[in-house]
Homo-oligomer: A and B are copies of this chain.
Amino acid sequence: MSNATSTDLYEVTMAQSYLREGMTGSATFSLFVRDLPPDRGFLVCAGLDPVLDFLSSYRVDADDVDVFATVMGRRPEDLAPLLGLEFRGEVRAMPEGRIALAGEPLLEVTAPLPQAQLVETYVLNQLSHQTTVASKCARCVLAADGHPVVDFSLRRTHGIEAGNQAARLGAMVGFAGTSNVRAAHSEGLTAVGTMAHSYIEAFGAEEDAFRAFARSHPGPVTLLVDTYDTGTGVATAARVLRDLGLGPGCAIRLDSGDLGALAVQARAILDAAGLQETRIVASGGLDEFAVDGLVRSKVPIDTYAVGTRIGVCADAPYLDSAYKLVEYDGRPVMKLSSAKVTAPGRKQVFRRPEHADLIALIDEPPPPDGTPLLESVMREGHRVSERTKLDRARQRFVTDLAALPAGARTIRAPTAPRAEPSECLSSLTADVRRHIEQNLLGDTHGAL
């Protein structure tokens, strides 16, 4: 059973019908996000590599045909036309790290209709989820305003793979480290983390635990100070660090309570002990809203560890993404369902220094100062772009972020810029709508 079974059933029933009807003309599907969640001013594109891996290895094998037949209650012969089907299409996409806006295609697939249809579920799943998380992580970096942010999300993401992706996506937008060992190793990230409350409790006395930890881990340590009483914990940590001649590079971690007030208290205790270089790490239910509040209050927290709420993107755990047919066999198509109208035709998006992004048809002349955002990444089913390098994606993100209006970068109630359709796109949209109304609705409306 290959990845081809990682699909909604209707992709298969449609593909089978397309093949039976000889509908194998070229189709373009456009993947875009209709509207951003309330507290988002922009999206950060992510998830392209697994999509291209999936597409380049896509093949319906005999086992898959058997699975399709079984779940559909059909004979394997009925599904036989799907056997051996591979993805041999073209893909144009925004590279990872690129900032995107509502309505802009993040990716366009052009392939024979059954191929382009069959891959929908997987492509939508990966791009939607990873773009969701990358965009959330980016907001944490903005909120921290130069303070390091680290990822502690693995224990509560929707599975281990989602945790690995969160660690990578955090790093892509500028996180300084992750608690996730596997992701740190695979992606070359800085691994962070020292002790949990259980460590203190197993020893009983905090001082015993802190000294044991320092014995086991020569070099800078981070001591968790809120197992019993935070003030006492900080004082004990300060005494141990001073006794052992530690301090620079070391930190204490606050994980509960009023983090801002406790940080002020902790800073005073550390400073009084001559530990001006011992840093304060805060964790525990943080997200970009909480970090923004703490940073604006100028509390003496040095590093912010974000976890659960970022890894699951708690305030907006999905995007209103769609993978819509925009052209079939040379004919632009669209949907008119209420509130879900799609714009027809293959597209290109241009970023312009002084103007809104322009969503244009693919064959329009580019605007004079526009940078095209969709790049060719796959031709005839083969990758023509290199795999994402995290530091290049980060550079892309940093550059795009700097060009974004300030209102899109605020944490609370940001203003998301809107892309504009080109005149050609608007005109085509109106033409196709008129065609549908006159030819597909006119003759049947109200009739039975």
Contact = CB atoms under 8 A, between A and B. Distances in A.
A448 B272 CA distance: 9
A238 B229 CA distance: 70
A117 interface: yes
A70 interface: yes
Nearest to A160: B6
Contact of A196 (B14, B152, B213, B334): B14
B198 A325 contact: yes
Nearest to A21: B212
A228 interface: yes
Given A17-B199, A23-B202, A185-B5, A338 B446 contact: no
A415 interface: no
B125 A160 contact: yes
B238 A14 contact: no
A165 to B, nearest CB: 7
A300 B123 CA distance: 34
**Most central of A124, A198, A203, A229 by chain B CB within 10 Å:** A198
A336 interface: yes
A197 B367 CA distance: 33
A361 to B, nearest CB: 18
B179 A9 contact: yes
Interface stretch (A138-146, A291-299, A312-320, A418-426): A312-320
B120 A213 contact: no
B154 A125 contact: yes
Contacts of A5: 181-182, 185
Contacts of A120: 155, 196
A159 B165 contact: yes
A171 B8 CA distance: 16
A214 B340 CA distance: 26
Contact of A448 (B185, B201, B239, B257): B239
A335 interface: yes
A340 B256 CA distance: 8
A94 to B, nearest CB: 19
Interface of A: 1, 5-14, 16-18, 20-21, 23, 27, 29, 67-68, 70-72, 113, 117, 120-122, 124-126, 128-129, 133, 152, 154-163, 165, 179-182, 184-185, 191-199, 201-207, 212-213, 215-217, 226-232, 235-236, 238-239, 255-257, 269, 272-273, 308-309, 312-314, 317-319, 321, 324-325, 328, 331, 333-340, 436, 439-441, 444-448
